[in-house]
Chain A
Amino acid sequence: SQTIHQWPATLVQPVGSPLSLECTVEGTSNPNLYWYRQAAGRGLQLLFYSVGIGQISSEVPQNLSASRPQDRQFILSSKKLLLSDSVFYLCAWNPQGGNEKLFFGSGTQLSVL
Chain B
Amino acid sequence: DQQVKQNSPSLSVQEGRISILNCDYTNSMFDYFLWYKKYPAEGPTFLISISSIKDKNEDGRFTVFLNKSAKHLSLHIVPSQPGDSAVYFCAASDQGGSQGNLIFGKGTKLSVKP
Contact = CB atoms under 8 A, between A and B. Distances in A.
The listed residue with most B CB atoms (<10 A of its CB), out of A32, A43, A98, is A43
A107 B36 CA distance: 15
A102 B102 CA distance: 8
Specify the main secondary structure of chain A where it touches its partner.
strand
Nearest to B2: A43
A42 B106 contact: yes
A41 to B, nearest CB: 7
Given A94-B100, A99-B100, A43 B107 contact: yes
Interface residues of B, number: 27
Interface string B25-46: 0000000101010000111111
A103 B104 CA distance: 14
Contacts of A32: 99-100
Interface stretch (A12-20, A44-52, A61-69, A70-78): A44-52
A48 B111 CA distance: 32
A101 B49 contact: yes
A99 B32 contact: yes
B71 to A, nearest CB: 18
B43 A106 contact: yes
A109 B89 contact: no
Contacts of B42: 106-107
Interface in B36-61: 36, 41-46, 49
17 contacts: A6-B43, A9-B41, A32-B99, A41-B106, A42-B106, A43-B106, A46-B102, A90-B43, A98-B100, A99-B32, A99-B97, A101-B46, A103-B46, A104-B36, A104-B43, A106-B43, A107-B42
